[in-house]
Structure 1
Amino acid sequence: MSNPPPIPAASPSYTLAEFVQSTAQQDKGHGLFEKETERLLEVNLNGRINTKMGSMVAYHGQIKFTREKMMDQGMGNLLKKAISGEGMSITYADGQGKLYLADAGKKVSIINLQNESIFINGNDVLAFEPTLTHKISMMKRVAAMVSGGLFNVHLSGSGMVALTTHYEPVTLKVEPGKPVFTDPNATVAWSGNLMPELKKDISLRTFIGRASGESFQMCFQGEGFVVIQPYEEVAFQPQG
């Protein structure tokens, strides 16, 4: 005789005081960047931090927000942006206080670069220290597949960066002679020494039944890593 199915546990309920206590902000003492929750970044601000525009959800203290100007990345990038329309909106947060950042409920990861470099999809950069040099570029050939192309941020130097992913990120090793192929919309980041190529795959397009154009893949060769997420994210759209 089979056992009866288990009875689901009742959902927990709280008094108002218990809810406030259980969800209260906590100081973990981790420094400039802290994960208040898996999906909320706390910045213990004392100076300046660069943030993704629209990512601020709360703050207290004396903090001023200003948008990055076109000239802030230098004349070369200004001319490049004027010709190609490339760009990603960054907001400077200046002052002292606690700043809370989030992006559509995505999971937050914090990386401390130590004289290193990394490429991150423009959709997935949440915040980074101004000690890091940043350069925004676009893989133009992928514009044939996704509206607006694929914007990347190249961060280099020493400092912290917070990136976001839909669900848990997975890092794949790239080894000589063993290229790694990824879906551009599921690709989050890769090591700064890798320069991916874009590859068309008509047979894959036929298999999955897409009729809007060839299927594109990113091909990583050499030695390094690539970070993916189990989600195909809509390509970053620069804000005007």
Structure 2
Amino acid sequence: MRSELFSAENLEKESAQPGLRLQNSKLLKAELNGEFMARQGSMVAYQGNVQFEALGSGGIGKFIKSKLTGEGVPLMRVRGTGDVFLAERAADVHLIDLEPGDGLSINGANVLAFESTLNYDIKMVGGAGMMSNAGLFNCVFSGHGRIAVTTKGTPVVLSVDQPTYVDPQAAICWSASLQTGYHRAEQLGLGTLLGRSTGERFTMSFAGQGFVVVQPSEEPPGGLAGTGSGQQSGQGGGLLGNILGN
């Protein structure tokens, strides 16, 4: 049997080391010898002796935060030996390696998989209010390990070495050390009152030293997967603020 379908570029890519790899731009391959975490429902194929265990949002504390905020990653633990292939609605997949001391704030809807050596929590987006992609809250990863994130289209990575402003529905992830806020991009005037608008009323602002990943698509709150509702009204004080600040 012959076909371009069977060309070398479509054959399974092999590696001598276990871990998360790109099979292609839209497909993640996990060469498994142990365990890792993945978005529930993201497995498209596997070979070998592999078990899948649903974890909800990853522990009771994260489950509570997920229910309160609408943000979080519906997780499954994948363990065993073999090869596991993951995807998310044909979105582009990108790998990020975190080193000790690094922190990554990311819309939970754009998390595909990550190594179990990483720590993750749900945190309020400082100063951004309801303007972030997933609402007032984002997932923050730290520690040492690899994470796979998804974007709709090929993104641009902006280096924040000057005041930087991003459409909140296009911001995928950014350095957790950056200071965030929101900025009124469109000036109110007679045109606005008459219903004429540029469509760019608010942007997220970033300051400090770090990077912001921006996708070429303006997703509604919840992003690609639609799991982070992001519909909280933005009251960050009181009991909710105390829970999320921990």
TM-score range, shorter chain: 0.7 to 0.9
What is the match of residue 141 of structure 1? 129
Give the distance between the partners of 2:142 and 2:5, measured in 1 at CA: 42
Q: TM-score normalized by structure 1?
A: 0.77
Aligned residues: 217
What is the match of residue 35 of structure 1? 22
1:1-240 → structure 2 map (5 Å cutoff): 16=2, 18-22=4-8, 23-29=10-16, 31-69=18-56, 72=59, 74=61, 77-115=62-100, 116-137=102-123, 139=125, 141-142=129-130, 149=135, 151-175=137-161, 178-203=162-187, 206=192, 208-210=197-199, 215-236=201-222, 237-238=226-227
Shift of 1:31: 3.9
Shift of 1:17: 5.0
Q: Which amino acid aligns with 1:233?
A: E
Q: What is the DSSP-based 3-state SS (H/G/I as helix, E as strand, rest coil) of the residue aligned with 1:111?
A: strand
Q: What is the DSSP-based 3-state SS (H/G/I as helix, E as strand, rest coil) of the residue aligned with 2:157?
A: strand
Q: Greater RCO between the two (CA within 8 Å, min separation 6)? A: 2
What is the match of residue 244 of structure 2? none
Given that 1:73 and 1:135 are in contact with CA atoms closer than 8 Å, whether structure 2 keeps it comes out as no
Given that 1:129 and 1:160 are in contact with CA atoms closer than 8 Å, whether structure 2 keeps it comes out as yes
Shift of 1:45: 1.0
Closer, same or farther: CA 124–215 of 1 in aligned 2, 3 Å: same
Give the distance between the partners of 1:225 and 1:100, measured in 2 at CA: 29
Given that 1:86 and 1:137 are in contact with CA atoms closer than 8 Å, whether structure 2 keeps it comes out as no
Give the distance between the partners of 2:19 and 2:75, measured in 1 at CA: 19
Larger Rg: 1
Given that 1:187 and 1:227 are in contact with CA atoms closer than 8 Å, whether structure 2 keeps it comes out as yes
Given that 2:45 and 2:85 are in contact with CA atoms closer than 8 Å, whether structure 1 keeps it comes out as yes
Shift of 1:41: 0.7
Given that 1:86 and 1:138 are in contact with CA atoms closer than 8 Å, whether structure 2 keeps it comes out as no
